[in-house]
Each structure stands twice: as structure tokens, then as C-alpha cells.
Structure 1
């Protein structure tokens, strides 16, 4: 079938909307008409090859849509289902079998390989000579900067028919990661204290979740006053602009004995060191932000002796089919108002949306690709 898709041709190039050919779903695959898709910082990292992916490629991994067709062997998803696409996993390795699919041993190939694990690809285009050319797809097993996407049944999450489908895509990655860090990874306790270093989309999701979890001191740290103001509105009890004041001194004045938890999202080595330094005994510092490959951070080893923990988090340790419905329930109950972070753009405005993210004018850009009531059909 012929579809529209946003293609990146080379490192740092803008996205271009092209007509591509998409093959039918194979065994255990699902064809989804994309209603909306969020833009994640990971997409921008890939655009600039901060982590290597093959070009040309269709990115996108925070999609919501409606199932159009399913391949052989698909049993839990059917045409007409409203769905969110999340991260993939192989389902067979030790982490997957132990309930930790976010740490799948094949995650890198599944997310960033630009093809199926067997080396095949569902996306193609015709060259000027009329020859069939591969365009790399299957990014996070979805490549959802497109009108239609091929996903695995295992990374498709059915959502309620009355859920606001256009809003839900970012639950598949960014919002799931921030909220999951609070609920699943750290298991933040009632009356505990937490600081969030960096309050973009993931950090603000963590702020909202920390409030929902009952934390009594929630400290937001950033260099943008507008984001800090929003963090206060969404649940932060204290804010610190680290450009103007000492984060360390301010944290110690708020929680003299140290923090129970710190989430570090800036991916700056000095901030990870600070995260450990401001922990209370037996506190936990968790890294979510993705630093360039090879980045190292210096930590005072003695700081770890009083039971302090440093750990990394991928995808909020979530099981998407269980966790995304929980987030939707929290949203519908008014306890996780993630819609306040979203700004919509037309699909063709993808480059404008990315520039607005880089300038700090938009926290979470969501591209409207089609609508639930007016299906976008192939040519």
C-alpha cells in the first residue's frame, strides 16, 4: 500500500514527507493507521546520529492509532481496536522472561536497527529509474512518523474506546518513562522527598506521578522559569533555577538530611554527581537522561557507603499493556493531567515542531496525522 511518511535522508537533514510503499503485515505483526504521534528527544538524537541508525529512515515511536489489519498468529488485537504503540522486546531472552522487557537483550537491534531482526524491511520507494529501494523502518518496531505503521503485536497496547486517542501516543515512551520511574522503578513512598533534575516532558510526567504517589517534598530543578512555573502547577512543592542559584545549597535548605530519591534527566555528568551528593542515607539516584556514548561521571565512592544507590532506568520499568491503561485511568481521574504538556501540529509541520522543541517553546509536540472519525485511506 502507498503511504505518506516523514523520511530522514542523512545526518542532520530535515524531515521530508514522501510517498512510500508499505508491505502487508507478516506473522505476529499489526498494521495501524496512525492518528497522532509524539516527537521524543530520542527521535531528535537519531536525526543527528547521536546514536547511529541507518539512513534513509522513518523515525517515530510515540504513536496512537486504529488497527487496520493483522498478520497471521495475532490473537489479542483485531481490526478496529484503538491502540498505543510502545517499545518492543523479543519476549524470549532472560530479562523478557523475568518481566523486565525494557531491558531486553535485543532492544538495540529492535529499536535502532532500521529493519526486522531477520534483516527484512516493510518500507520501500521507487528510484528515478523505477527500481525498488529500501527505506529503513521498524524504528522501535513502528516507524510511526507515517500515515500507517507496521508494529509487533507485543508492542501494541489496546486502549478504551472512550480514551482521547489523539493525546495518548506519548504514553508509549516519554510519559511512561517519567511516570514509570516514580511508580515502578523507585516505588516512591507517601511523605517521601524527591528532586527531578530537568523538567521537560519526562521530568514533568515524573512530577505529576510523584504528586499522585503522595510524596511530600517534590523539588523541580531546571534553567527555564516557564517550565518551573508549570512544574509548580503540576505538583512540585519547590522549584530551583540552577542558572541563578546553587542547587546543592537550596536542596540542603529544603531537606537538610538529604533526599530519598533523585531523578537525573539532564545527562550532564556533574548533575549525576550532584544527584548522589544530595541523597539521604539509603537514598536512590536514578539516571534517565541519555548521554552521548562514552560519557563518564565522577562520583565520590564514599557517598555510596551509607546505603546510597545509583541506577539507570529504561522506559520506567513498565509493562506497557498493564501500565498505559493505569496512566489513562489516572488521567481520567484528574491525577495525571499530561494533556497540559502537549501542543498539536499538523503532520507536515514536523520540522517546525522540532525547532519549537529545541527552542523550549514546546514541551511535547504531537503530530496529527489523521483523525479517528475521518480515516486516512491509502492512495
Structure 2
């Protein structure tokens, strides 16, 4: 039996159930793995939809996939980091398929199996409760706990002069929004952009659109506090979709044309339809909102074809984490990407409160501090 370490972790035992804080044991890292002592982990919409089984990740499981911490121990083949290094944990990927090799690891052919399979690719897990295995390796980390096992592939070494407790959300949500704009759609200087949904992902996209030089940036949401913050972070216009037709508002702002780029982050099919309808000729709509599996959406075929519009799905901002996360940290340190304005901290003991506040829209990006677990 491998050497084990005691830890605390938030476990989801059943569909729709709460996160329950449990005493668990974590196996020693395998040859290509890294044991990380967690400092803080962001909470993402995907954690909640897996809790509720929109995606069929096996339960019981330790979730959490926006982890930041300090390397405690490394496997025998690991050369990328050493104990004491600060790291952010991103999604995992095989590194060998054609898509990984061509610089698109977020579209790895084994993405679902490796990130949502409930364990390592061979089916084994590293986490136990009273000797019984718990599903883990969620996004290659399962970081809702005081310790996490990640792989050398999905950890990103980061600079030590930036607060580590802030950096976890760069592993998924923040990178998704910013990467959709900068990597996937490649929003251009002087262009127009609208974010349908101004939560953490949408606001990250708005900040990135400002960085890219877009000159018309429109925030769409139903929460006044989010729209107010969007204007502070770079939006030139904001519209409450409950009070006003967002498509008509966008056409009015753009002189009847529509925008060059839209990003849909709500996961609601009707909002996706609006994001497509709001496009100008040759416009592109990026889709990052995650509804339940099997959800259908509709669009007017001729309104798509004749104006040459595009709709594209985007995963993890089409980023290479080892490259993109350090870039975002540098931008943050220069005051150009103030994603800290989205963050509210909670102790691990209040993880369910964090989830509720996020779902109500009261908190944009909950971050769970592990130092307050005991």
C-alpha cells in the first residue's frame, strides 16, 4: 500500500447534495504526479452542474478545479516543479493526440475521460474515506480540500510575488472568458463585442476585449450590480436584459449593424439565440455557457448563412495553460487585468454558502481558502 497523508476535503455524496467536509486520506503521488498543499480554490459553475449531475461525473466525488497551492511532494519523473514552488492547477490532457500536439490541449481527444471520468485514466483514484475510494482527479486535481494530487502536465508554475490565494480562478473560469476573446475569437482593435452574461466569465471577457482594443464593448445581464462592475472594468455600454430587448439595444448602439463578436456564457438557449441575432455580417458568436447534456438551441438558418455569421464552441479559452496563465498574471500585476475585483473569499467550512451566493449571483467568483479548514 502506498504512503498516505491525512487531509480534509469537501465531498459530494449524491446528486444535488451539499458539499460535506470529510476527513480523507490521499495517496502519495505516482511517478508523473504532484502533491499540492492547497492555499485556495476558485468555485466555478462547472462544480455546481456536476454536483447536480448535468454532466455524468461519478459520485461520491471531490470536486474543485481552480486550485492554487504550494508543491509539497513530486513523483519520481517530475522535473517541471520542485517542493516549495507556487502553482496554479488547470485542466488536464493527454499531451499526445493531434489536438494536444497542435497547441489545442483544451480539445484533447481524451478531455472528458481525463477531466470528468472520476479518477485517473486507468480508473484508479488517490482519495479514500475510511478505506473506501472516492472519485477524484476532477480536472486533474479535485482541489476542494487541503491537499490535492495533480499531474505534471496540468500544473503551472507561477511567480511568487503575486498573492497565491487569488490565482486559482485563472485555471478555468477567468482563462475561459479571457481566452475566448484573445485566443479563440481573436477580437481585434477597433471592433465591437458583446458579453451575454456578465458573471466571472463574461466580465473576464470584457476585460480582455478592452485589452484587445475593442472600442464598443457591451455587457448584457439581469443583475444591476454586475452591469455596474462591467462598466468599471471596460464595458462602454450595459443593458439589463429583463428591462430591455438586448438585441435591439445592441443594434441601436451600433447604428443598426450589430456587433463583430459575442460571447454567450449563461447556458440558456434563448440567450444564445440573442447572441447570434445580435451579430453583424461576418460576426462570430463564441459559446461557453454549459447547459445540461442534450440541450438543443435554435437559430434562423438564413440569418446565419446569408450574413456569413459563425457560431463556435469554446473550451477553457482554447489556452495552453503554461503560456496563458503566466501572461494573465503579468497583466494583473501591471494593473491591466484586475480580475481580483471579481473575487470574494470564503473558508472551506462555508463552501455551501459560497455555492449559494454564486448561484444567486451575489458573488461573482467565490474563492475557498483552505487555511481556514480546521
* Structure 1: 5+ residue stretches without partners: 127-131
Whole-Å Cα distance in 1 between the matches of residues 308 and 218 of structure 2? 22
Provide, for residues 310-330 of structure 1, a one-character-per-residue CA deviation record: whole Å limited to 9, x for no partner: 100000010000000110011
State whether structure 2 residue 320 is matched by structure 1 residue 322.
no
Whole-Å Cα distance in 1 between the matches of residues 168 and 117 of structure 2? 22
Whole-Å Cα distance in 2 between the matches of residues 279 and 361 of structure 1? 30
Q: Which residue of 2, 6, 9 maps to 1:2?
A: 6
What's 2:142 paired with? 143
Provide, for residues 260-286 of structure 1, a one-character-per-residue CA deviation record: whole Å limited to 9, x for no partner: 101011222222222222211111011
Whole-Å Cα distance in 2 between the matches of residues 215 and 158 of structure 1? 31
Superposed CA RMSD in Å reads: 1.2
Whole-Å Cα distance in 2 between the matches of residues 85 and 329 of structure 1? 17
Report the 3-state secondary structure (helix = DSSP H, G, I; strand = E; otherwise coil) of the residue aligned with 2:239: strand
What's 1:160 paired with? 159
- Structure 1 position 305, deviation (Å): 2.6
- Structure 1 position 50, deviation (Å): 1.1
- Structure 1 position 14, deviation (Å): 0.9
Whole-Å Cα distance in 2 between the matches of residues 316 and 215 of structure 1? 18
What's 2:359 paired with? 358
Whole-Å Cα distance in 1 between the matches of residues 359 and 267 of structure 2? 16
Q: Which runs of 4+ in 1 moved over 4 A?
A: none
Whole-Å Cα distance in 1 between the matches of residues 275 and 65 of structure 2? 29
Provide, for residues 8-49 of structure 1, a one-character-per-residue CA deviation record: whole Å limited to 9, x for no partner: 111111111111110000011011000000110100011111
Whole-Å Cα distance in 2 between the matches of residues 92 and 17 of structure 1? 36
State whether structure 2 residue 119 is matched by structure 1 residue 118.
no
Whole-Å Cα distance in 2 between the matches of residues 370 and 156 of structure 1? 20
The answer on whether the counterparts of 2:10 and 2:145 sit within 8 Å (CA) in structure 1 is: yes
What's 1:97 paired with? 101
The answer on whether the counterparts of 2:60 and 2:135 sit within 8 Å (CA) in structure 1 is: yes
What's 1:253 paired with? 252
What's 2:262 paired with? 262
What's 2:294 paired with? 294
Provide, for residues 347-379 of structure 1, a one-character-per-residue CA deviation record: whole Å limited to 9, x for no partner: 1110111111122211100011129xxxx99xx
State whether structure 2 residue 25 is matched by structure 1 residue 21.
yes
What's 2:84 paired with? 80
Whole-Å Cα distance in 1 between the matches of residues 299 and 220 of structure 2? 20
Whole-Å Cα distance in 1 between the matches of residues 160 and 223 of structure 2? 37
The answer on whether the counterparts of 2:288 and 2:314 sit within 8 Å (CA) in structure 1 is: yes
TM-score normalised by length of structure 1: 0.95
Aligned residues: 368
Q: Which residue of 18, 21, 33 maps to 2:37?
A: 33
What's 2:280 paired with? 280
